[in-house]
Structure 1
Amino acid sequence: MNPKAQSIVSYLGIFWLVAYFAGKDQRDDLSRYHLKQGLGLFITGILFNIAVTIVNAISSSLGMIVGLVGIVFLVFLIMGIINAVNEEKKPLPVIGKMFEDKFSFIDK
């Protein structure tokens, strides 16, 4: 898998594992950057969904409103894929800066 394809696939949730393992020997700086951003988005999305489930259990009407905010994660996913296609190292809004220096296992 070439680095550009690896960068794109890294934003597609569980397919992050495919991008990580399939292109381990062809990884460049750009693909490492997008792997970190994609994994950060995936983990943040999971934590957000857990929080929405808890809020929904407490108050279904409030949970539905908070659940609509989940569309933001879809927008972030699309923005990340566009950045990967354009071969830009641009962080995702709001959460991207947090993950630029995390996940050191990706650099190895």
Structure 2
Amino acid sequence: MNNKTLSILSYITIIGWIIAFVKSKDVTPKSDLVTYHLKQGFGIFLFSFAVNIILSVVVFTVTSLYFLNYIGYALFILWIFGIINAANEQKKPIPVIGKMFEDKFGFIN
């Protein structure tokens, strides 16, 4: 697989991320683009997972806050931005939350 495909795949579910992670270890020389998008993809996955758990608990306990479920749409839009950046082979962070993940996840290097 080429670097562009691996970068896009790093956003497509956690299984796609694992495949991109394993395949990126086989690629020489190491691609900064793939590493960057692996970090961004893993970050958005963890962030979305945590936000969905928190929202589920909040909406379950206080049902009048059901409108908070629309935050999921915002996360979906951020995910789409990540895929677009990967498809354009750009190393741009995901808007709003992407800067948090640029220097995290040292195991990906």
User: Runs (4+) of structure 1 moved beyond 2 Å?
Assistant: none
RMSD, aligned CA: 1.1
Checking the alignment, whether the CA contact within 8 Å between 2:85 and 2:91 is kept in structure 1 is: yes
Tell me which residue corresponds to 2:76: 74
- Relative to the length of structure 2, the TM-score reads 0.91
Counterpart-to-counterpart distance in 2, 1:19 and 1:61: 41
Tell me which residue corresponds to 1:21: 22
Counterpart-to-counterpart distance in 2, 1:10 and 1:41: 11
Equivalenced residue count is: 106
Counterpart-to-counterpart distance in 1, 2:24 and 2:91: 18
Q: Secondary structure at the match of 1:23?
A: helix
> What's the offset of the Cα at 1:13?
2.3
Which of 33, 53, 56 in structure 1 is aligned with 2:56? 53
Q: Secondary structure at the match of 1:35?
A: helix
Checking the alignment, whether the CA contact within 8 Å between 2:24 and 2:34 is kept in structure 1 is: no
